[in-house]
Structure 1
Amino acid sequence: MTFRLLLDEMYPAALAQDLRMDHDHDVVAVVESEELRGCDDPFLLRFATEQGRCLVTENVCDFAVLARRGSHAGLLLVHGRRWSRRPAAVPKLGAALHEAIKTGQVPGPDEVRWLT
């Protein structure tokens, strides 16, 4: 099964680029798209759903509420203290996302999971 991810705006483009180039995963970062940068959360979740992409985010408070209100393509929540997005820690986060994709731990439609 192929998993498609959309990385929320807090994640660097390099994370998506590494997952695409090193592992051939279908991953897009919000910061790579002028259309998506600065969009509000409901728009972003709708966009991800229309594109069939699981949204990866640390913004648990807002997106957990939105996910309960309607259908979505999946929501992968990331604990910011465990998975830092500092430049030196991005490879570790990338490895965890790669592992989630490889082992089928990416949430599907209307599912919400934590990155482990």
Structure 2
Amino acid sequence: MTASLLLDEMFPHTLADTLRDKGHDVTAVLAMVELVGRDDATVLDAARAAGRCLVTENVRDFALLARYTRHAGILFVAARRWPKTRAALPRLANALHETVAAGRLPGPDDRRWLT
């Protein structure tokens, strides 16, 4: 099973590369010049327009936006549980892969936590 994901700006492009190697349609904000440094509403709107579930650690801002803005789904990632260190990135990539493969991504206008 594949999914369309947009990794928020805090995630390295190498995570997107790893997930693409696992067969998923993934892009990172850092790879999209038009989104780098843009406000959260713009990022969420771009994800919705592309039909991509947004993966982010920015719970405070995106949880609020999600209450008032339509979106293609938001998957929240707890930074403490899923650090972005070089050694820990494979574990995060595997967790995202397993979430997609099990069909546990949030759907339109839904939010979930990566477990």
Range of TM-score over shorter length: over 0.9
In the other structure, the counterpart of 1:61 is 60
Unpaired runs of at least 5, structure 1: none
In the other structure, the counterpart of 1:16 is 16
1:87 and 1:8 mapped to 2: Cα distance? 17
Deviation of 1:88 after TM superposition, in Å, equals: 1.1
- The size of the alignment, in residue pairs, is 115
Structure 1 residue runs of 4 or more that deviate by more than 3 Å after TM superposition: none
Deviation of 1:56 after TM superposition, in Å, equals: 0.3
Q: 3-state DSSP class of the match of 1:5? A: strand
TM-score (norm 1): 0.96
Deviation of 1:99 after TM superposition, in Å, equals: 0.3
Deviation of 1:2 after TM superposition, in Å, equals: 3.9
Q: 3-state DSSP class of the match of 2:6? A: strand
TM-score (norm 2): 0.97
Deviation of 1:58 after TM superposition, in Å, equals: 0.3
In the other structure, the counterpart of 1:84 is 83
Q: Answer yes or no: is the 8 Å Cα contact 2:7–2:28 preserved in 1.
A: yes
In the other structure, the counterpart of 1:95 is 94
2:48 and 2:74 mapped to 1: Cα distance? 10
Q: 3-state DSSP class of the match of 1:88? A: coil
Q: String of CA shifts for 1:69-100, please: whole Å, max 9, x gaps.
A: 12100000000000001111110000000000
2:63 and 2:3 mapped to 1: Cα distance? 20
Deviation of 1:104 after TM superposition, in Å, equals: 0.4
**Quick one: which amino acid aligns to residue 109 of structure 2?**
D
Q: 3-state DSSP class of the match of 2:88? A: helix
2:112 and 2:83 mapped to 1: Cα distance? 18
Over the residues paired in the alignment, what is the CA RMSD in angstroms? Answer: 0.9
2:18 and 2:31 mapped to 1: Cα distance? 13
Q: 3-state DSSP class of the match of 1:56? A: strand
Hey, which of these two has a bigger chunk of helix by percent?
1
Matches within 5 A, 1:2-13: 2-13=2-13
